[in-house]
Amino acid sequence: MARKSPTIPAASNATEKDILFFDDAPEFMDGREAAEEMENVDARVKEAQEQLLRLRQQQEEIERQKKHLEELRQKQERFGQGKRDLIEKLTRSTSTLDRELYDAQKLVEELSIARDSFNHHLEIIKGIQPEKWHRSQVDEELDGALAAIEDAEDEFAKSTRRIQSVRQTEASKTEASDANEDEEEGSQHSLSTTTGTDDFPSWFRRGLAFNIPLVAGLIVLLILARLMF
């Protein structure tokens, strides 16, 4: 009986060793690993870029919040300062207006009294008519007429002094108020609503200019009447 050749398995093994598997080749193994490594690098770069974008967005949001908070702080500061300033100004101005209103009411009262008194004496003086006097009553009529003129002059002088006193008091308070406002704020206009202090003296000077000729003419008429009768 013939034996099988023992060299057949050896030949098979030699054949398997001679076969080249491309997947197992070292050069191909290095290329695949390099590709995988590049993919990993790309993924990490992409992730880093996305993270950087998120950080930038967060930074922008923080900057917006910071700007908003700064604007809010400035508004609160302006509000607080404006509130304090207005409370101080309005309180001071209210007190000033109260004083000026009182002085104005007092001045109006004095002016009203003076006007009524002047009209009363004016009617009396206009009513004096020497040509209608009876000869026997000339002395009495002249005495009464002179008394009426003296009363009118006295009342005119008293009313003038009273009104001038009120005006001077009002002007002094206004000047003091203006001085305080200038000292505290530097350049603030006066809240006074009254007219200048020169208006009333000018008004009285014009009144005197109009009334003196009338009074002088009346006195001349009285003297002529005395001489005539």
pLDDT tens for the chain, residues 1 to 229: 444 445 445 444 545 555 554 455 555 555 566 667 777 888 888 888 999 999 999 999 999 999 999 999 999 999 999 999 999 999 999 998 998 888 888 989 988 999 999 999 899 988 888 888 888 888 888 888 889 889 989 999 998 898 888 888 766 766 666 555 555 555 444 434 444 445 555 655 666 555 555 555 556 555 555 555 4
pTM above 0.75, yes or no: no
Does residue 91 fall inside a structural domain? yes
Does residue 15 fall inside a structural domain? no
Does residue 99 fall inside a structural domain? yes
Q: Write out the residue range of the structural domain in which residue 211 sits.
A: 49-228
> Cα-Cα-Cα-Cα dihedral of 138, 140, 142, 144, to 10°?
-150
Does residue 143 fall inside a structural domain? yes
Q: Which residue has the tokens 């702080």?
A: 73
Residue 207: what pLDDT? 60
Does residue 213 fall inside a structural domain? yes
Q: Which residue has the tokens 């009334």?
A: 211
Tell me the two tokens of residue 157: 């002088």
Does residue 44 fall inside a structural domain? no
The count of domains in the chain is 1
Does residue 67 fall inside a structural domain? yes
Does residue 202 fall inside a structural domain? yes
**Measured in Å, how far apart are the chain's first and last C-alpha atoms?**
205
